[in-house]
Chains A and B, each alone.
Chain A
């Protein structure tokens, strides 16, 4: 409700011409709903803890600049916390900072929360929201926390334009930037997340939107989710994380126009899918990852219109995946185009542009006349006998690949594109679906 009031204030400021069927609310005539309290170092009220205790439900607490070391603050009523001139809440490396418990309607904006303590027995967070709903976390900075934003059994929240920077410690000494356990209708937008264990971590999360975030330099995953359904990820960047992005045991997910890039290391994946069903992966860019797209045990995944460029392996599909549809993708400049451990494939590969294709197009319809087999003999050898990779870029590898060209029968046919495109696909701006994410 508070959101709505604020939103309307902004609208009323512009006084739009009334239209038919639109109810006009003049906020000047409505009673001011929220009592306000102010906290600052020189004010009568210096303690945020006292302010929280005194405030009636629905109050707005303004906190002015300064450092507040007040161990753990627990909030059990609807409140709006507004930081002015960058107040800092310091957990001193020991405490959780803000815990919001069983609240319907909570807002926080303009704060810096730092140094939430490490714990090996519980998930200590800078901002923990549990059993709550209708919350709004905007324009805050989170620095060097164990967990930063932690939602537990919480739904209908907006987490927007926060800057979250972790301490960059090892896996067991750092928590996640945004952690959601059991929630739905969460909107995560425009955040910048870095140096935590996982950037975005979801477990049992439904019907949420994750748009325009940048998640980079994390110790483990840029994004990690499990047992989550109906989520929509669009225009996010997942960059330079220890293990890339891993999503598991989930259904009905949309991943559109994200960038998965520079996830480079011995066990890094641009996007790892494990037991993911009925999912759309469209218009993403996979750039310079050790493995661009890894698919294991997944069914009915539609991979369309993506660009996979300069990865070690562009795609790696295990044999336990079925009804995967891989169409209209650009596969350019990868060391290995595709790899699979399967003897035969139950997936569809069609109309992709493979820059390793050496076929021809006699009837000039834009599609190659002979099928493309992106799994090379050497790739297959490496898949079955990993130590054989010691021959990478050797003259022998060159010889094997050249022999395949002369005798195509040598190429494994586990992945085959019957009608590969002759030229790289360029998507026109009008087809850019940046405007059709449902808002």
Chain B
């Protein structure tokens, strides 16, 4: 049943003009970056800036509006003899697959074609696409959670924007304040630790470490690399990202199962 609902939702989402625009936007941007910049590392860095700002925002807003537009239909589905569980997972997969497809077509394809011709920075390129997909999944989970937590459409949108703002700018702002205040202390390890808590920072640093710019980050990069270099560090990074996907999804699931529509 989950599969059936997921297929139906996915088909509906894929018909959305906004998703088409999103795909087209990334396709145009990625292709033009590869055309106009001669340096693949410059392409990746420009793409990174874009991914960190646009992917979370679009995933968040798109999912929030879709779920609220289809609120009545979800309720109607629940009156049918289908389990809540399969309705939830149906929507989760149904939303995730088209969003991931959009990224794969918009960014993955141009990057893959580029990689066929130039092997330089292949790991960073792959990380770029995988990172964007992880961020999509994380913000999708957050959006589903927020959507079921708030009855009011405006409230849900506002809180979604707030979460996006916090993770994108506020968290880093606070990190900067901490670094400035504690400048008398060797703060690098602590700062690296804090960056593990924010998926955007983690994805960004993971990517930067694969590139030349890591040398500009001096001691901080060394700390990060040393930590990532051992099994515990890699495990911690993967776990942190998986928790960021699993925790909001689990909260949303719990909320959905108990919710009195």
Q: What residues make up the interface of A, taking CB atoms closer than 8 Å to B?
A: 264-266, 268, 288, 290, 310, 312-313, 333, 335-336, 381, 384-396, 398-399
The answer to whether A393 and B176 have CB atoms under 8 Å apart is no
The answer to whether A396 and B216 have CB atoms under 8 Å apart is no
**Which of A268, A336, A386 meets B220, CB within 8 Å?**
A386
A394 to B208 CA separation, bound complex (whole angstroms): 11
The answer to whether B175 and A395 have CB atoms under 8 Å apart is no
The answer to whether A392 and B216 have CB atoms under 8 Å apart is yes
**Which of A265, A268, A387, A395 meets B191, CB within 8 Å?**
A387
Q: Chain B: how many interface residues by the 8 Å CB criterion?
A: 36
Q: Which residue of B lies closest to A264 (CB)?
A: B215
A398 to B204 CA separation, bound complex (whole angstroms): 13
Q: Which residue of A lies closest to B44 (CB)?
A: A393
* B20 CB–A CB distance under 8 Å: no
Other CB < 8 Å A-B pairs besides A266-B218, A387-B179, A393-B49, 19 of them?
A265-B215, A266-B219, A266-B221, A268-B215, A333-B39, A336-B216, A387-B220, A388-B176, A389-B217, A391-B176, A392-B208, A392-B213, A392-B216, A393-B45, A394-B52, A395-B168, A395-B169, A396-B172, A396-B176
What residues of A have a CB within 8 angstroms of the CB of B49 in the complex?
393, 395, 398
* B3 CB–A CB distance under 8 Å: no
Q: Which of B151-184 contact A (CB under 8 A)?
A: 168-169, 172-173, 175-176, 179-180, 183
The 21 sampled A-B contact pairs (Cβ below 8 Å) are A266-B215, A266-B222, A290-B215, A310-B39, A384-B183, A385-B183, A386-B219, A388-B179, A388-B180, A389-B217, A389-B218, A390-B195, A390-B217, A392-B208, A392-B213, A392-B217, A393-B45, A393-B49, A394-B200, A396-B169, A398-B49
The answer to whether B187 and A387 have CB atoms under 8 Å apart is yes
What residues of B have a CB within 8 angstroms of the CB of A394 in the complex?
52, 172, 200-201, 204
Q: Which residue of B lies closest to A400 (CB)?
A: B176
**Which of A384, A387, A395 meets B52, CB within 8 Å?**
A395
With most chain A CB atoms within 10 A of its CB, the pick from B173, B188, B216, B220 is: B216
What residues of A have a CB within 8 angstroms of the CB of B183 in the complex?
384-385, 387
Fill in one digit per residue for B214-234: 1 if any A CB lies within 8 Å of its CB, else 0.
Answer: 011111111000000000000
Q: Which of B51-98 contact A (CB under 8 A)?
A: 52-53
What residues of B have a CB within 8 angstroms of the CB of A395 in the complex?
49, 52-53, 168-169, 172, 200
Q: How many pairs of A and B residues are in contact by the CB < 8 Å rule?
A: 88
A266 to B220 CA separation, bound complex (whole angstroms): 10
The answer to whether B200 and A393 have CB atoms under 8 Å apart is no
* B112 CB–A CB distance under 8 Å: no
**Which of B173, B216, B219, B222 meets A312, CB within 8 Å?**
B216
The answer to whether A390 and B205 have CB atoms under 8 Å apart is yes
Top 10 closest pairs, chain A to chain B, by CB: A396-B172, A312-B216, A395-B168, A389-B217, A387-B179, A385-B183, A387-B187, A390-B220, A387-B191, A387-B188
What residues of B have a CB within 8 angstroms of the CB of A384 in the complex?
183
What residues of A have a CB within 8 angstroms of the CB of B179 in the complex?
385, 387-388, 390
A395 to B180 CA separation, bound complex (whole angstroms): 18
The smallest beta-carbon distance between A223 and chain B, in angstroms, is: 21
What residues of A have a CB within 8 angstroms of the CB of B221 in the complex?
266
The answer to whether A312 and B168 have CB atoms under 8 Å apart is no
A393 to B48 CA separation, bound complex (whole angstroms): 8
A338 to B90 CA separation, bound complex (whole angstroms): 53
A381 to B176 CA separation, bound complex (whole angstroms): 9
